[in-house]
Amino acid sequence: MASLFEKIQTLINANLHGMVDRALEANSLKVMDEYIRQVQQNLEALEDSAATVGGTVRTLKRKYEEFAAAAEKLDRDIDTLIIKGKNDLAAAAQAELNTKQELAQEYYQQWQMQEKQYKQMLDMRLKLETRLTTIKQERERLRALMELAETKKIMTKTVKSLEGLANTGDKEIDSLSQQIRARLDREDARLELASRRIGEEISEAVGSSQIDMQLEERRARLLGKSGGES
């Protein structure tokens, strides 16, 4: 999973300006086609993994809710046992309650961790899809630009980047070059803003007490309350 995330992060952070310049230098769109192929391949892998993690999130959430509900019911039953003076049964029930509460807490923590990872995967998928859309659009525009430059006999060995094309003196090519550069700048800016939104810490709260102490607190609350009412 970590290696998949690393590959996707590398694709998300790819320098689109550099890619365009390399395509111009080689007078070929192969470098962009290879990037598109890798993005599509990793998108498929990410979607498969996200589906698996999403299923795990639902399972853990359901398990947590089941144990939490069972613990809540058992908690009420212990109060009833104490009031009836069935201390042995109350002690056994308290031990079972402690176990269910611990399991519920474990499922809760696992659920929260998996959900955080799931949200990160969805966020990465969105960024990668946006990157793919952008590079596909720029590929087509660059293809048109290269054909135009070839037609006008301007694409020479000395013109190896968008900056070089911008200095050819041809207004039509200069306009297309500047449009490509501006769109890539906006895409990089959007990616930078989106990256700042990632990050939330999972709080941990696991507590346990001695069975006798818990039962004593219940007796004091329940029996003392009963005595006061009589």
Render pLDDT for 115-171 as a digit per residue (tens, 0 to 9): 999 999 999 999 899 889 988 988 888 888 777 766 655 444 444 555 555 555 556
With beta carbons less than 8 A apart as the criterion, state whether 145 and 177 touch: yes
Is the pLDDT confidence value at 207 over 70?
no
Residue 154 lies in a domain: yes
Domain-located, residue 218: no
The total domain count for the chain is: 1
* 142 vs 177, residue with greater confidence: 142
User: Residue 165: its pLDDT value, please?
Assistant: 56
Cβ atoms of residues 82 and 222 within 8 Å: yes
Measuring CA to CA, which residue among 120, 118, 125 is closest to residue 39? 125
Task: Name the residue with higher pLDDT: 183 or 85.
Answer: 85
In a domain? residue 208 = no
Give pLDDT, residue 103.
95
Per the CB < 8 A criterion, the answer to whether 35 and 132 are in contact is no
pLDDT score at 147: 76
Residue 165 belongs to a domain: yes
pLDDT at site 156: 44
Question: Does 119 reside within a domain?
Answer: yes
> Domain limits at 141?
2-200
Put simply, whether the predicted model's pTM sits higher than 0.75 gets the answer no
DSSP 12: H
* pLDDT attached to residue 80: 92
The residue ranking higher by pLDDT, 50 or 227, is 50
210 in a domain, yes or no?
no
Q: Are 216 and 91 in contact (CB under 8 A)?
A: no
Does residue 224 register a pLDDT over 70?
yes
Q: How confident is the model at residue 58 (pLDDT cuts 50, 70, 90)?
A: very high
**What is the mean predicted confidence (pLDDT) over 190-202?**
49
Tell me, yes or no, whether 229 lies in a domain: no
What is the percent of the chain where pLDDT is above 70? 68
Percentage of residues of the chain with pLDDT beyond 90: 41
Tell me the pLDDT of the chain averaged across its residues.
79
Cα–Cα distance measured from residue 206 to residue 203, given in angstroms and rounded to the nearest whole number? 10
pLDDT of residue 89: 93
Alpha-carbon gap, residue 162 to 23, rounded angstroms: 10
- Distance (Å, whole) CA 205 – CA 104: 12
Distance CA 224, CA 217 (A): 10
How far lies 172's CA from each of 143, 144, 226, in Å?
14, 12, 91
User: Does residue 189 have a pLDDT over 90?
Assistant: no
* pLDDT: which is higher, 184 or 159: 184
pLDDT, one tens digit per residue, over 18-56 is 888 888 878 888 999 999 999 999 999 999 999 999 999
Structural domain contains residue 40:
yes
